[in-house]
Copies of this chain bind each other. A is one copy, B any other.
């Protein structure tokens, strides 16, 4: 134990809270220890090791278990000491009381960092748990940076590091960094991001945050060239002043999207037992985040959609939009949602309206904006022409195209073909990508699906395929118009557009 002065929460402060972590070796290790694999039954270490293999991690994996032997085709070292040479990073998934000793040896073996997946530390609320966590902090202060304990670790597409228990996350990198106090949220966000079209630079589930946590990670991601937008799930913060300072500095340089969990009384109580953090009232947090220039969201879907918009849309505010699709009620809903976000849906000028109207059926269509094409089977080429014309309006900065693909099931049934064969997904996607290229104005795709039952799983699959076709061409896709507009509203708040009341 230590003689150092403890802070109010009874924690030993780290020697240098903004120490010189070797993040390159932490995120892209060449030699990685996995301490706590077991060939008998399930073990977190073993599950993570297999996930690393499934991800195609190219570095050397060094499993450790006192019994030795082999695990998943690899020789198991009886202890970290017996690994020849130095190591870059360690995954520690042994029982809580054994963690400090393993961590210390990893430090002596030259590891730049370690992620501790084990639980049983300060989140238990027990003196034993807190003491163990203090031991970790002391070792960390001597030169090994710690992620966790009580976390899912790092997912880094470029190196193939992955969270427990995720063997199937994308290896493709992208602009989104994610810092999460919760392992479940980290895993959920990565999985949701996979099909929603988010691609990540580096992400960290830091759990109790005994050493590395929000403030220092914000500083790192602010300067990280791979990262264009930072998302953050926090339940509480370690050093409030440092957090605010780093948040504001990061938000000045790139969008920071924050989901704060535990704003309620009961939520705050749960935070204590989840990651041993202090919560805080909703009003105070809203004010802090606004002052720091961060974008606050209310749930994971909203966070993912905001990150999607920040990833794929031009870095500027949107004054007005066009909305094109089928159905009067959908158009009306779009207008209502847009107004609540402070986004205009300007009527098309006479000349433009007439040109658009000439491309539409005589009955049931409208070219006022929203543009009701009155026919779910409108060909891609026609849609391309409509959006090409509408883009000429000065007040329109972004176009929203709503596809109601479930209507194609009627054609599929009539023609006796699978629905995938009658929907020109690639042509729709090409036509929209052409619009963006030719007009210089972005297009958001909306794919609502009212048919999700057992007998309509072909329609569900079709939507997944259509989404992928649009995403492959760089077009963001949303489930509902409201969601697209909410994301655009966040862009406007960040880039200084007119502020609405979402």
Contact = CB atoms under 8 A, between A and B. Distances in A.
Given A235-B332, A332-B235, A368 B262 contact: no
Contacts of A451: 191, 194-195
Interface in A382-426: 406, 410
A370 interface: yes
Given A270-B368, A347-B269, A455-B168, A262 B450 contact: no
Interface in A177-205: 182, 184-185, 187-189, 191-192, 194-195
Contact of A340 (B264, B460, B461): B264
A134 interface: no
Nearest to A261: B332
A266 B450 contact: no
B328 A273 contact: yes
Contacts of A344: 266
A143 interface: no
Contacts of A332: 182, 235, 261-262, 267, 270-271, 274
Given A331-B274, A363-B120, A192 B269 contact: no
A139 B165 CA distance: 68
Given A266-B338, A267-B336, A468-B454, A274 B191 contact: no
Copies of this chain, tallied across the complex: 2
A310 B49 CA distance: 48
Contacts of A330: 184
| Most chain B beta-carbon contacts within 10 A, residue among A451, A453, A460, A468 | A453
Interface string A357-379: 00000011010111010000000
Nearest to A260: B336
A219 interface: no
A255 interface: no
Contacts of A269: 335, 347, 368
A421 to B, nearest CB: 16
Contacts of A461: 454, 457, 460
Contact of A329 (B168, B261, B301, B333): B261
Contacts of A266: 335, 338-339, 344-347, 369
A428 interface: no
Nearest to A191: B450
A328 B274 contact: yes
A203 to B, nearest CB: 15
A327 interface: yes
Contacts of A430: none
B184 A329 contact: yes
Interface of A: 119-120, 165, 168, 182, 184-185, 187-189, 191-192, 194-195, 233, 235, 261-267, 269-271, 273-275, 299, 301, 326-333, 335-336, 338-340, 344-347, 363-364, 366, 368-370, 372, 406, 410, 448, 450-457, 460-461, 464-465, 468, 480, 482
27 contacts: A119-B363, A119-B364, A184-B328, A192-B452, A195-B453, A195-B454, A235-B332, A261-B329, A261-B336, A262-B332, A262-B336, A264-B340, A266-B339, A266-B369, A267-B336, A270-B368, A271-B332, A273-B366, A274-B328, A274-B372, A299-B333, A301-B480, A454-B464, A454-B468, A457-B464, A460-B461, A460-B464
